[in-house]
Amino acid sequence: MEKTRRSLNIDSRIDYGVILPVFLLSIIGMLALYVALTHDLITQNVPDMMFRQGIWYVIGIILVFIVIHMSSKLLWRLTPIFYVGGFGLMLLPVFFYNPALVARTGSRNWVAFGGSPLFQPSELVKIAFILTLAYVITKHNAFYTIRTLLTDMWLIVKMVGVLIPLMFTLALQRDFGTGLVYIAILAGMIFLSGISWRILLPLFAAVFIIGAGTILLVLHPTGRDLLYSIGFQPYQFARIDSWLDPFHDPSGVSFQQARALIAIGTGGMFGQGFNVINTYVPVRESDMIFTVIGENFGFIGSTLVILLYFILIYRMIRVTFDSNNQYYTAISTGVIMMVLFHVLTNIGANIGLLPLTGIPLPFISQGGSAIVSNLIGVGLILSMKYNTRPDYEDWQKQRSDLVEKRNVQRKARVGS
């Protein structure tokens, strides 16, 4: 009877609404990866590549179980260590990289030893970045119990201060696409951190103006010269050109974008069938994996995948609303923004709505670092039901007691 009750208690704390979409997306990812590798012109050993991908899923699942059972107090104490260690990891690709891979992609975002790429630190450090922002938000809100425009501005400064060192390393890696993910995570967590709308509206308006201004500069030769001078790379301009007109150079710089649109278009309503590929698309196993789904399973299959993502995000939001732990609420906000931005930018790029950024599709694209990072994020969401008590409450109570003591002393001095 006692074992049965314990089992029921554990089951009640597992959110199958989060687990099921992730499981189905992972199965779809393995199938899509098999198709992409089978028809790739470079890949020779498909079983070996599939086995490696499966190992990364297993590692990710193990880490999910570890994260779920990690107490919020331990996670809170480890967060600064994760951030410092993550910054160190982000410096590794600057010195240890594969020259051939850099020449092909234009970025030094993979750590490589002996010419063999091992992992992508920026994917793993996204979790450390989210944890650190949540740490900063929670501690700030606990310290400043009375919110003012000045304290809100100070919170933004601290959050941007967390981002700047990581953006510096991404600039060294020349990884503009991943930098956008970090900025999107920061924007989402700022938006939901309780900061006044009188600050948020001008802030987001300024970001929109800068984004629109950058696009206008790209469209003008003089503007391009200016962007070149501040560090923009030729491949970045080529991606924007291919986005604006995918068929302006279909045998050159816009080859990948044009072939992606053709592949998805040939899928029609129901697709050409599993493992039927008639259109070659470069790097199909990672950035362009959605073209496999579109060509094989058509509009119906593609819509199903998108629906699974929205179910996952919806369930994550529900878990967030049910939480009474501000630290975990901030973490889940960052995880939701990470997954949502990845989905929108990857699928948007595959269907021509957005420029190519090299951002993988969560749980589907090839790449162990991204899979592990996303699964750890899922583990953090699932752990919210296992850790309901905010462990930072003790620290907040000590702060409140100190403020109350000072107020009493101040009134005593005034009375005397």
Q: What pLDDT is attached to residue 129?
A: 96
Tokens of 64: 């999910």
Which tens digits make up the pLDDT trace of 100-145? 777 777 678 888 877 677 888 899 999 999 999 999 999 998 888 7
Q: What pLDDT is attached to residue 391?
A: 47
Query: Which residues of the chain fall short of a pLDDT of 50?
Result: 1-2, 4-10, 390-391
Q: What pLDDT is attached to residue 398?
A: 56
What is the enclosing helix (H) or strand (E) of 213? Answer: helix 197-218
Q: How many CA atoms lie within 13 A of 345 on its CB side?
A: 20
Which tens digits make up the pLDDT trace of 54-112? 999 999 999 999 998 888 888 899 999 999 999 999 998 888 877 877 777 767 888 88
Q: What pLDDT is attached to residue 299?
A: 95
Tokens of 389: 């008590």
Q: What pLDDT is attached to residue 6?
A: 46
Q: What pLDDT is attached to residue 62?
A: 94
Residue 53 · residue 366 · CB < 8 Å: yes
Buried b (16+ CB within 10 A) or exposed e, 205-240: eeeeeeeeeeeebbeeeeebeebeeeebeebbebbb
Q: What pLDDT is attached to residue 85?
A: 94
Q: What pLDDT is attached to residue 405?
A: 65
Contacts of 124 (CB under 8 A, 6+ apart): 86, 89, 369, 372, 373
| Separation in Å, CA 177 to CA 212, 287, 297 | 17, 11, 28
Closest by Cα among 252, 229, 380, 253 to 319 = 380
> Cα–Cα distance between 192 and 215 in angstroms, integer?
28
